[in-house]
Structure 1
């Protein structure tokens, strides 16, 4: 494992507790602990989706830190991939959360476009990493 992969993996490890806190909040909300929030069913679904996407994309980012070491890319491309994978996790969850914010919201606002940005970013990173791994086998 390269020192760059270790650094990014350590940073990702510090991100996991924020996801855990979000899960704790959602669980407590579903148990009726935050009745004063009065989230709409749409907002509840968006917040659950934001939380689950953050968790999955963060795990993908962690795994890809190791794979990037074996892709044979120059340092600049490796850093683009390292940062791109974790940035996509942050951006997609932000799109779900900010896209549903506002009292009584029943559909998305302009912030939901961040979801598309994150999908484009993670897809670019996945395809690039796959090409690098195939070319360097």
Structure 2
């Protein structure tokens, strides 16, 4: 396992408890009636995307390690995966905070940016694996 594979995996694994805490926070906020139905749906979406995308990141890093990709290449892919995960899930939370139903907000834009970052990361990983 290269240095990039190791440290990016550590960062992703350490991030998992933050998603777990988000589940706890969701239960507390729901029980306290602090979120309306619209905010609750976006909070759930952001939380679910964060968890799933962390699993995708860990899987992708394992693929990069098995393919023997160079450290710089793995750092780029890992950075794009991290940025995409934060942007995509964070956009839901931001839209819940400032957005309105049926209206575009910067949260929506952030979510779309995250999808683009994840797409570039996965295509770069696929290219790296195919050419290794």
TM range (shorter): 0.7 to 0.9
Q: What's the CA shift string for 1:50-90, capped at 9, x where partnerless?
A: 00000000111112112112445443322110111122111
Matched position secondary structure for 1:69: helix
**Number of equivalenced pairs:** 131
1:63 aligns with 2:50: no
1:98 corresponding residue in structure 2: 94
Relative to its length, the structure with more helix (as a share) is 2
Residue of structure 2 in register with 1:75 after alignment: 71
CA distance in 2, matches of 1:6, 1:72: 13
Equivalence for 2:41: 45
Deviation at 1:101, TM superposition (A): 0.3
Aligned twin of 2:112: 116
Structure with the greater alpha carbon radius of gyration: 1
What's 2:13 paired with? 13
Give me the TM-score of the superposition, normalised by structure 2: 0.87
Give the TM-score normalised by structure 1: 0.84
**By how many angstroms is 1:17 displaced?**
1.1
- Gaps in structure 1 of 5+ consecutive residues: none
Superposition deviation, residue 134 in structure 1: 1.9
**Aligned residue in 1 for 2:130:** 134
Any conservation in 2 of the 1:71–1:129 contact (CA below 8 Å)? no
> Conserved in 2, the CA contact under 8 Å of 1:12 and 1:58?
yes
Q: Which runs of 5+ in 2 are unaligned?
A: none
